[in-house]
Structure 1
Amino acid sequence: MIEFQGKLDAFEFNHWQYHIPLSDDISSQMMDEKHRRVLVWIKDGGPFHMALMKAKDYWYVLVNQELRTQFKLDEKNSFAVKIDRDHSEYGHEMPEELQVLMDQDEEGAMFFKKLTPGKQRMMVYTVTKVKNPESRMRKALAIMHHLKLTQGKLDYKQLNELIKYYNKL
């Protein structure tokens, strides 16, 4: 784990503008050819699963509005940052609800495992971001149902409709 004083910076060219720039020394220690996922702690809050991104001149991690508000981050003041490699399989912790379904449903698990790592991470995050355990279970059920229905081909519009249907149950 590496600790340093970070500073919020902003790109001027897009809406994903706020980020924490990282030195080449830090970024090189956090990644290899295939691995750019990191855990970040901001002011002792976290860990937050993030990805190292490359601008023309430097590496950075994006900082969303929620984190900027939660930690009262601005471009004027530096703050404590800790960063470490994310060794989790999916770039997020696997929610128990989705893991239970994958353990019980071999066909759904097979389709899940055939997804690209980014799509797997998106499905895990879709379930993880929900706080209520019942709602997480309904989302996980909808995802597994969708994967089997489409033979592992993600159709986000169809998946969202299925999630809405499961939320009404």
Structure 2
Amino acid sequence: MLKSKKYEVSKEGPYFVILPEALAEQFLNAGHKRARVVASFNKKEISFHAAIRKIKGVYRMMFSKQHQKELGMCPSDYFTIQFFENTTKYGVEMPEELEAVLESDLEFMEAFQTLTDGKKRNLIYTIKRYKSSQTKIDKAITISENLKRGIVDQRLWIKPV
């Protein structure tokens, strides 16, 4: 399994981290545009999935306010990141509630498979943001019904039918 060494980085603007070129190219040259990231700050550690992007000649990844808050960081703090090969099917961990709804509804599974990879991840993140398992199931069922009706606008997916 591909993994990087640990790098010390800081944020660039409110939501980005500039990645060391060696880190980004190690993964991109191996064919990995996404990675599992472990970020550490002051003895706190979080794990999440991120895309590696080159914007205006600089490698970057998104680093959300939520992740910053989880680590207890201030805007100018330096922190440590380490990349690991992304072994997930969709580029992010699938919530078991969504997986159960997909497995139990063939029509929903077929509609899900027609989505772009980015829309699949968006749908997965939509479900992941809920804390309660029952809410995750309810939202997955609502999304299922809306997708089967042909609603492709992601903003309308969680609207009750």
What range is the shorter-chain TM-score in?
Answer: 0.7 to 0.9
Equivalent of residue 28 in structure 1, options 25, 28, 47: 25
In the superposition, relative to structure 1, how do residues 52 and 95 fare at CA in structure 2: closer, same or farther (>3 Å)? same
Number of aligned residues: 156
For residues 100 and 109 of structure 1, what CA distance do their matches in structure 2 show?
10
Residue of structure 2 equivalent to 1:158: 156
The answer to whether the Cα contact below 8 Å between 2:36 and 2:48 also exists between their aligned partners in 1 is: yes
Offset of residue 3 of structure 1 = 2.7
In the superposition, relative to structure 1, how do residues 39 and 103 fare at CA in structure 2: closer, same or farther (>3 Å)? same
2:91 pairs with 1:91: yes
After superposition, where does 1:8-87 map in structure 2 within 5 Å?
Answer: 8-11=10-13, 17-32=14-29, 35-43=32-40, 45-74=45-74, 76-87=76-87
For residues 71 and 22 of structure 1, what CA distance do their matches in structure 2 show?
18
The answer to whether the Cα contact below 8 Å between 2:9 and 2:19 also exists between their aligned partners in 1 is: no
Which amino acid in the other structure matches residue 6 of structure 1?
Answer: E
For residues 79 and 156 of structure 1, what CA distance do their matches in structure 2 show?
33
Offset of residue 109 of structure 1 = 0.5
Partner SS state of residue 8, structure 1: strand
In the superposition, relative to structure 1, how do residues 156 and 78 fare at CA in structure 2: closer, same or farther (>3 Å)? closer
For residues 107 and 128 of structure 1, what CA distance do their matches in structure 2 show?
22
Offset of residue 79 of structure 1 = 2.2
For residues 63 and 34 of structure 2, what CA distance do their matches in structure 1 show?
14
In the superposition, relative to structure 1, how do residues 122 and 77 fare at CA in structure 2: closer, same or farther (>3 Å)? closer
* CA-atom RMSD in angstroms: 2.1
The answer to whether the Cα contact below 8 Å between 2:139 and 2:158 also exists between their aligned partners in 1 is: no
The answer to whether the Cα contact below 8 Å between 2:46 and 2:71 also exists between their aligned partners in 1 is: no
Offset of residue 81 of structure 1 = 1.4
Q: Once the two structures are superposed, what CA deviation does each residue of 1:101-123 show, in whole Å capped at 9, x if it has no partner?
A: 21121111111101111111111
For residues 5 and 73 of structure 2, what CA distance do their matches in structure 1 show?
17
Offset of residue 99 of structure 1 = 1.2
Where relative contact order (Cα < 8 A, 6+ residues apart) is larger, the structure is: 2
The answer to whether the Cα contact below 8 Å between 1:90 and 1:120 also exists between their aligned partners in 2 is: yes
Offset of residue 146 of structure 1 = 0.9
Which runs of 5 or more structure 1 residues have no equivalent in the other structure?
Answer: 12-16
- TM normalised by structure 1 equals 0.81
